Each structure stands twice: as C-alpha cells, then as structure tokens.
Structure 1
Amino acid sequence: MSDIEYTYEVVNVDAYAKAMEIAYTSPGRQTMLIGTRLPYAGESVDVIAKMYAPVAYWREQEAEVVIPELGAFGSSVNGSQSVPVTLDEAKAAKLAEIAAARYEREVSGTVLNGNPVDTDREMQSKIAGAMAAFQAGFITSVDWKFGGTTFVTLTGEQVQAIARAVTQHVQECFTWERFMVERVNAAATVEEVNAIVVEA
C-alpha cells in the first residue's frame, strides 16, 4: 500500500478549550478539517498533525470494491473476516468522521426569533464585518437577507444579537466535537473506537 502525501495547516486555535483545527490537503482527495488537542510541552505541531492525519479515512474511500452479482447468496458458520486495522488508524478514521459531522452541523444554520440564519463560513465573515463597521461608526443600519428571500433592515443591536446566536451555535458544534474527540482519545481498543456513534 503506497504512502499518502499530504500537507496540513492550523486554521483555528482555541486556547481556552485547549483545542485546534487542522486542515489536511492531499492532491485529488477531499480536504479534511479535523479538531485536535493542542501540543503538550515538548511536543511539536508536526507530532499532533501526524497523529490526527486522516490517512486511514482516505485509504478507505479509495479502496477497491467488488460488486456482487445480483441475487448472490450463501451461508456462514464462523462469520466473515474483516480487514485488521491498528488502533491509531481506527482513531484517525473516527476523528475524520467526527470533524466532517461537526462541519456539517456548523454550517447547517440556526434560528433567531423564528428567522433562519445562515452559519456557513462566508456568513460568519459577513457578520464579523458588519459588527466591526457598526463599532467603528461607519454605518447605523444594514440590510440583511434571511432564508435567501426576506430582506430586513437591522440596527447594530440586532446584528449583535445575530452575531451572538451564530457564535453560540458554532461554539456548541465545537464543544460537541471536543467531547467526541476526547471519547476517541480515551478509547483503548479498536472495538471501543468503532462503538462510538457519530450522529450528523
């Protein structure tokens, strides 16, 4: 099995939660955003990046499969054999699954006073920009679009309420990911890792 080359970049650091987010990129493969712990004293970022690298996940996605003939059947006494994986590989695959689920949660949106609010990365950036403009006194109101169809003129206080709701939503997603990552890190066997269910 050939090695998988990849690069990584630390894209988010939460010192309070003692966690960071690493973006892994490999040519021709899905870019993965994975939440990890911060390096301990004496550790390098390279060590953490290698520990959480989604290599096992990428390999699983690229594995050749055999399409069974329609109607094929059989019986078994001893059960089917599975491809053995190491604990590190199982953890890396599970962490990649958790990171993907957290991202889907993060960008899925939230609701404020009955209005749907987008929470994707672009919207998070726009909200931060609007907040900065209000605080600098550049604007006193802003036209905002909810749900892709409804326009509303908002004051600075209303934009602040949106920013608070989005920030809380995003933080809840990362809190969930941190909890799940800690469960994976605490697992002592492949079976314990596989027993962790990741709900999208």
Structure 2
Amino acid sequence: MTYTARPLSDAVVRDADGRIIGPEMADDWAEYQAWAALGNTPAPANTLAKLKETALQALADRRWRAETGGISVNGSPVATDDRSQAKFVGACLAATLDASYSVQWKIADQGFVTLDRDQIIAIARAVRAHVQACFDREAALAEEIQAAPDEQAFSAIDIEGGWPS
C-alpha cells in the first residue's frame, strides 16, 4: 500500500484506489497512520503548478477530440479531422474562384453526394465555426486553469463539459 500527499491538505490519497483519506475517516486514517509509523512517507503532492500543467495538456487533448469529432450540417454528418478540414479549405477556395464549381463529396454514411458552390461554402463555414468554437472553449478553460488560486478552485474546473458538437 502506498499513499500520495495532497497539496494544501492533511489528507492523503491511497494510491491503490485513488480514495482521499483524511483524519475524519477513522478506519482508513488508522491504516494510513500505521503505515506511516513503519517509517513510510507518502509521495510528495503535486504542486498546483504541476496540476495546472497536467490539466492544460489534458485540455489540449480534449479540445482536439471535440475539434475532430465531426459535426452535422443540415442533418448530414461532416468530418472535421485535420485532413477533412484541409479538403474543405481546398474545395471552398475552388468554389470561391468558380461560381459554377461543384464536386462529388463522400459523406460518411451516405456515400457520394454532389455539392454545389453554395453548399461547399456553407459546409466549410460550419466546419470553420466549429473548429474556432473548440479553440475558444479551450482558451476560456485555459484561462480558468491558470487563474485558479488554489486546489479547491482548480478542482471545480470541468474540462469535459461545454464543448461544441
């Protein structure tokens, strides 16, 4: 059994199950005290700065998952992964340069569809708006993370919710 200290707290985390154990938890605290009496010491707590660094990395991953998770445009699924974004930029550029431009586009569950100039531009705009909304959400959460003055405020930040879809 091992434990990790918690920053700004007397409590420890039991590494085996992640349970936070404090003096108010008589049996678990007695077990921890017996472990410590044998000369064991808990692993150092992550500092708030380290917690923030780890959270910012997790936040970037969460933004990427939202960004590349796809959207629906007029009831049709549209891929938003990096490759699809690049293809929409190219198609949108061609449609901007040629008013009569149309293209056969493969939609995930519908096979190929013909998209005209206006449809291409509308989809490209929707994809771009989605991607930007994901970055905007990441920026707002990153600001909250950086501004958190203590572990309690930091722990209240939810990086999983509120993402565009």
Looking at structure 2, the residues matched to 79 and 146 of structure 1 have their Cα atoms a distance apart, in angstroms, of: 58
- Does the 8 A contact of 1:133 with 1:139 survive in 2? no
Aligned to 2:104: 143
Does 2:131 correspond to 1:170?
yes
Deviations 1:62-102 (A, max 9, x none): xxxx879xxxxxx4136865641122211100111111111
Q: TM-score, normalised by structure 1?
A: 0.58
Q: TM-score, normalised by structure 2?
A: 0.69
Aligned to 2:53: 92
Specify the SS of the correspondent of 1:108. coil
Question: Are residues 191 and 78 of structure 1, via their aligned partners in 2, closer, same or farther at CA, if it must alter by over 3 Å?
Answer: farther
Does 2:78 correspond to 1:126?
no
Aligned positions of 1:1-200 closer than 5 A: 75-77=27-29, 83-137=44-98, 140-199=101-160
- Residue 86 of structure 1 aligns with an amino acid whose one-letter code is T
- Residue 113 of structure 1 aligns with an amino acid whose one-letter code is N
Deviations 1:4-57 (A, max 9, x none): xxxxxxxxxxxxxxxxxxxxxxxxxxxxxxxxxxxxxxxxxxxxxxxxxxxxxx
Looking at structure 2, the residues matched to 146 and 171 of structure 1 have their Cα atoms a distance apart, in angstroms, of: 22
Greater shift, 144-153 or 174-183, is seen at 144-153
Question: Are residues 170 and 161 of structure 1, via their aligned partners in 2, closer, same or farther at CA, if it must alter by over 3 Å?
Answer: same
Q: List 4+ stretches of structure 1 deviating above 4 A.
A: 78-82
- Does the 8 A contact of 2:72 with 2:78 survive in 1? yes
Specify the SS of the correspondent of 1:196. coil
* Structure 1 unmatched runs, 5+: 1-65, 69-74
Report the identity percentage: 36
- Residue 199 of structure 1 aligns with an amino acid whose one-letter code is E
Question: Are residues 77 and 84 of structure 1, via their aligned partners in 2, closer, same or farther at CA, if it must alter by over 3 Å?
Answer: same
Shift of 1:133: 1.6
Looking at structure 2, the residues matched to 120 and 84 of structure 1 have their Cα atoms a distance apart, in angstroms, of: 37
Looking at structure 2, the residues matched to 78 and 166 of structure 1 have their Cα atoms a distance apart, in angstroms, of: 56
- Residue 77 of structure 1 aligns with an amino acid whose one-letter code is W
Looking at structure 2, the residues matched to 82 and 135 of structure 1 have their Cα atoms a distance apart, in angstroms, of: 59
Shift of 1:109: 0.5
Aligned to 1:60: none
Question: Are residues 165 and 78 of structure 1, via their aligned partners in 2, closer, same or farther at CA, if it must alter by over 3 Å?
Answer: farther
- Residue 46 of structure 2 aligns with an amino acid whose one-letter code is V
* Structure 2 unmatched runs, 5+: 1-14, 18-26, 33-41
Shift of 1:199: 0.9
Greater percentage in helix:
2
